[in-house]
Chain A
Amino acid sequence: MSNPSALGAVLAHKAQAFSDFTGRAISWLTFIMMLLMTTVVLLRYGFNMGWIAMQESILYLHAFVLMLGMAYTLSKNEHVRVDIFYRRFTPSKQKWVNILGHLVFLIPTCVFVMILSWQYVAQSWQILEGSQEAGGLPLVYLLKSLLIITPLLLIIEALAQIVLLLAGKTAFAEKEEEVL
């Protein structure tokens, strides 16, 4: 019989690896956004051409970047804190701030947003909602689905962190040292 806490830790590490993987994959979208945006400007001012669909695709990429990056950002411990006192806390005090914060603030908020958005997203799927602009992308329902996916990813990452913190391990993936 395997130790349940060991199993928890394994799952937690898997969850974190997942957050890390999604973040790395999604980060490529920022590069594509940059290229698309430059192309749009060049086409418009150089050749007087433009497509709504192309402009909207940038907005879609932007939405995917900011929403799907949130759990990754949490895993890298890069959500801003007011740290005048926090940075002087002992590691154990910091640990409890994070565990309780996840349980009291993050997870309930995410659950609430999911419940509240369910109907909103479902309606969009029912009519396979498209863009309000002529020639826009017909994928608004995918965009709206982010309101369910993002909270879900955040909850997974937060639970993983709680498990790791309770097991006395470090919860935040190693932050790469800034190259100065």
Chain B
Amino acid sequence: MEWLAILMFVCVCAVLMLGYPVAFSLAGTALIFAGIGSVLGAFDASLLNALPSRLYGIMTNQTLLAVPMFVFMGVMLEKSKVAEQLLVSLTKAMGGLPAGMGIAVTLVGALMAASTGIVGATVVTMGLLALPSMMKQGYNSSYATGVIAATGTLGQIIPPSIALVLLGDVLSSSYQQAQLAQGIFSPETISVGDLFAAAIVPGFVLVGLYLLYSLGVGLFKPDWTPKAAKADKVPLKEILGSLIPPLFLIVIVLGSILRGVATPTEAAGIGAFGATVIALVKRKLSLEVLKAVMQSTLSVTSMVFMILIGASIFSLVFRGFGGEELVHVMFQNMPGGTFGALLIVMAVIFLLGFILDFIEITFVVVPLVAPVLFMMGVDPIWLGIMIAINLQTSFLTPPFGFALFYLRGVTPKSIPTAAIYKGVLPFILMQILMLVALAIWPELATTLPKYIYS
């Protein structure tokens, strides 16, 4: 009765559209189906006995321990206004260059991505702070909004992103599962550190492409990015003062992971500590701020893990109905072999990115498709980076991209939505270019981890 697995999947999608919290919708729908299935004799209810130990496994997962710490770090930086200061002083300093503000936004976006990895926060911060000054200086509204939305999504891909932590955990267990299924009993492993290392080159290339585009606009469409009438002189001390804290964090967090001094989890803890020190030094750390940071860390963490629990109940039931077998057979009969399967997976994830958040896609969809792809010989690290960039593109694509919603929420009514759509178009093209490049040269992603961890 595999059709029940399909029916369940369709039902869950329909239920999710109602807007009831994802985690409980997933778990509840799955359990209702498990009940119906066991009455019909199509589902072996004893499978669910594995649930408590699975949930215990989620609670005590060492890798995911990095999540609350990275969240803590990100929220602390947000509350200590590191990004704001950097943005204000850099845009002022670069106002006199061609497309200077666009370049400043891109640089700050990349730095913030590397230190907080929270898409919504970056887009909103930049939309509120950079957009008004760009508009005041007479920037083309499409270009301005496009550059803000696009750099905001960099947080997905530039390490240490929370998205890569979650993806790394899911991919590593899928990879082991795939190898065990193939009779390899001493499976190779991949780690979050591998994914971080793999994301560095593609992340830099993307930032480079964004910068080139801004420079091109500045040179060939000077009326889109008028220079400031009189460039504000910003004292070097102010620029350094705002540049050093995020750089310091990136160096301690990424540096300690890449040099093998600390695990990603430990690095996250140090990052959280570093962010707290920065807030303290900047005299932004009051008891009120600390409480706000802790409470928001608590609710983001619980939210993420609740989805993980819901998704794991869902996939347990899905597996019980033979759904996994179904996905497997479907992929094997796919025309175009491995490439065809990959293309479909990428297309599905792209489309799902319109309605689901990174977390849900990582926990629900990836475990279903990844083992099959691995058995077909796909490289796990490369797949992880492809998925991350793919989703990042999806978040940027009209009409449903998440980043666009965040941005729309903070842009003045005078800028039409169509202008935002037009503005992100060149960036979507660059993203697709990046995906194609990765498909042709997987080494872009796979070389660095081998080099670092060999």
Q: Is the CB of B294 within 8 A of A30?
A: yes
Q: Tell me which residues across on chain A come within 8 A of B24, comparing CB atoms.
A: 79, 101, 105-106, 109
Q: How far is the CB of B77 from chain A (nearest CB, A)?
A: 13
Which B residues from 259 to 309 make CB contacts under 8 A with A? 261-262, 265-266, 268-270, 272-273, 276, 290-292, 294-295, 297-307
Q: Any chain A CB within 8 A of the CB of B53?
A: yes
A31 within 8 A of B: yes
Q: Which residues on the B side are within 8 Å of A73 (C-beta)?
A: 298-299, 302-303, 306
**Given A37-B270, A40-B266, A82-B17, 16 more pairs with CB closer than 8 A:** A23-B298, A24-B291, A27-B298, A30-B297, A38-B270, A41-B262, A41-B270, A66-B301, A67-B305, A72-B299, A73-B299, A74-B21, A85-B17, A97-B19, A116-B49, A179-B79
Give the nearest-CB partner of A83 in chain B.
Answer: B19
**Would you call A72 and B23 a contact (CB within 8 A)?**
no
Chain B residues engaging chain A, CB cutoff 8 angstroms: 16-25, 27-29, 31-32, 48-49, 51-53, 55-56, 59-60, 62, 65, 68-69, 72, 79, 124-125, 128, 261-262, 265-266, 268-270, 272-273, 276, 290-292, 294-295, 297-307, 313, 355-357, 359-360, 400
Would A63 and B59 count as touching, CB distance under 8 A?
Answer: yes
A1 contacts B by Cβ under 8 Å: no
The answer to whether B22 and A79 have CB atoms under 8 Å apart is yes
Pair A58/B262 contact, Cβ less than 8 Å: no
Query: Within 8 Å of chain B (Cβ to Cβ): is A70?
Result: yes
Taken together as a complex, chains A and B put the C-alpha atoms of A112 and B55 apart, in Å, by 13
Residue of A nearest to B307 (CB): A80
Interfacial chain B residues near A41, Cβ < 8 Å: 262, 266, 269-270
Nearest to A41 among chain B residues (CB) is B266
B84 CB to closest chain A CB, in angstroms? 9
Within 8 A of B (CB), among A156-175: none
Indicate if A54 sits at the interface (CB-CB under 8 A): no
Chain A residues whose CB sits within 8 angstroms of the CB of B49 once the complex forms: 116
Interface residue A143 (Cβ < 8 Å from any Cβ of B): yes
A-B contact count (CB 8 A): 191
In the complex the two chains form, is B20's CB within 8 Å of A34's CB?
no
Residue of chain A at shortest CB distance from B265: A37
How far does the Cβ of A112 sit from chain B's closest Cβ, in whole Å? Answer: 6
Q: Which residues of chain A have C-beta atoms less than 8 A from B55's C-beta?
A: 113, 117, 147
Do A70 and B302 touch (CB < 8 A)? Answer: yes
Cross-chain contact of A69 among B53, B60, B65, B299 (Cβ < 8 A): B299
**A27 → chain B closest CB, angstroms:** 4
Interface string of A60-100 (1 = CB under 8 A from B): 00110111011011101011111111110100001001101
Give the CA-CA distance A97 to B15 in the complex, in Å.
Answer: 10
* Secondary structure type dominating chain B contacts: helix
Cβ-defined contact, A116 with B18, below 8 A: no
Interface of A is mostly: helix
A97 to B18, CA, bound (A): 7
Q: Is the CB of A179 within 8 A of B65?
A: no
Residues of chain B within 8 A of A81, CB atoms compared: 19-22
Q: A105 to B69, Cβ gap below 8 A?
A: no
Docked-complex contact A113 and B21, CB < 8 angstroms: no
Q: Is the CB of B294 within 8 A of A147?
A: no
**Closest Cβ–Cβ distance, residue B135 to chain A (whole Å):** 18
Q: Which residues of chain A have C-beta atoms less than 8 A from B53's C-beta?
A: 120
Residues of chain A from 8 to 56 with CB closer than 8 A to chain B in the complex: 23-24, 26-28, 30-31, 33-38, 40-41, 45
| A64 smallest CB distance to B (angstroms) | 9
Taking a contact as CB atoms closer than 8 A, the residue among B22, B48, B65 that contacts A80 in the complex is B22
